[in-house]
Amino acid sequence: MDAVEEAFREQGRNQVQMPPKSYLYYEKYNGDLRTMPAYLEGEDRTGVKIVNVHTENPQKGIPTVMAVVILNSPQTGAPLAIMGGTYLTSMRTGAAGAVAAKYLARKESSVVGVIGAGVQGRTQLLALSKLFKIDTVKVADLNIDLCRDFENDCRPHLDAEYQLTTDAKEVCDCDILVTVTPSRRPVVKDEWIFDGTHINAIGADAKGKQELEAEILLRSKVVVDDITQASHSGEVNVPLSGGVLKEGDIYAQIGEVVVGKVPGRVGDEEITVFDSTGLAIQDISTASKIYAKALDEGRGKSLEFL
């Protein structure tokens, strides 16, 4: 969480280079492959993540999302390390949701709703539990068995009341709503969202994906992780392309909120939305700390890259 917040802070100071994700689409396999380069000038760290999203992978016994991260030397361009990025991706995305909630959710938030009982729902909840006193967790998934697995995995880390359902509407009466589905049509209706709710919209991370009815965004303070990337692959991408939402309706980037250029939540009645597409700066900031710790502890294998 510290690594991700620092990455957002550098973004807010305009001290990063981060082209938008580039995509390769494999429609016949229901998947895609993305490359995500970044340079954090303040930390002087650079590298690239290569990550896939294949929604049918769990049926084959492998994760939906898998990744590798390569760190390079900014001074010479030489490769410093290559590391698995699958667990890193899950954790840094959960961390991003918690950092956003720190600035956008009500401080006394205690009820969390999660739509989508997969890996990412777990890390979102874990990170939120580090900042908020959560006493109730509402979990919705089309597969109730996945909800039960979610509770079993999360309860050792967060002993709260768990309410499990297959109806997304039933979890929307909450303080913080987390949506983590691969849906291409809205799964959350405008009428289900009450004043004061904060929403972490995580699932929409490619063109055409959408989890929230556009009307929710029109009455919310919408904060994106990166305006360029969110416009073509985030929760706002479909409403923008359809003309329902205008770029001027987007309040800010999260980095601008973190560094204090603009305020986050300013009233208890506000509805706030964080549109998280996942940024390369999060990966490189986190991977750099992992790399430094590995060197300190003598972990990893030394390879002759050159």
pLDDT in tens, 67-110: 999 999 999 999 999 999 999 999 999 999 999 999 999 999 99
Q: Mean per-residue pLDDT for 169-174?
A: 98
Name the catalytic one among 21, 49, 102, 221. 49
What is the rounded average pLDDT of the residues 181-201? 96
Please tell me the predicted confidence (pLDDT) of residue 122: 97
Is residue 20 pLDDT above 90, yes or no?
no
Residue 203's pLDDT is what?
94
Q: Quote the CATH superfamily of domain 92-278.
A: NAD(P)-binding Rossmann-like Domain (3.40.50.720)
Among 220, 276, 281, which residue's Cα sits nearest to residue 249? 220
Residue 181 pLDDT greater than 90, yes or no: yes
User: Catalytic site residue 221?
Assistant: no
Bridge-based pairing of strands 45-54 and 65-72 is antiparallel
**Averaged over 274-299, what is the pLDDT?**
97
For 2-88+281-297, which CATH class?
alpha beta
Tell me the per-residue pLDDT of 196-207, one tens digit each, with 9 for 90 and over. 999 999 999 888
Q: What percent of the chain has pLDDT over 90?
A: 94
Residue 288, pLDDT > 80, answer: yes
Q: Where in the chain is the domain with CATH 3.40.50.720?
A: 92-278
* Beta-bridge partners for 252: 223
> Would you give the distance in Å from CA 44 to the centre of its chain?
24
CATH 3.30.1780.10 residue ranges of the chain are 2-88+281-297
The sign of the dihedral angle between the CA atoms of 101, 103, 106, 109 is positive
- Average pLDDT, whole number, for the chain? 96
Distance CA 221, CA 187 (A): 20
Query: How far is it, in rounded angstroms, from Cα 173 to Cα 181?
Result: 18
> What does pTM read for this prediction?
0.93
Q: Is the pLDDT of residue 19 over 80?
A: yes
Q: Can you give the pLDDT at residue 129?
A: 98
For residue 28, count other CB atoms closer than 10 A to its CB. Answer: 6
The CA-based dihedral angle spanning residues 265, 267, 136, 173, taken in that order and rounded to the nearest 10 degrees: -110
Q: pLDDT-derived band of residue 305, with 50, 70 and 90 as boundaries?
A: confident
* Predicted local distance difference test score (pLDDT) of residue 306: 73
Tell me the per-residue pLDDT of 115-132, one tens digit each, with 9 for 90 and over. Answer: 999 999 999 999 999 999
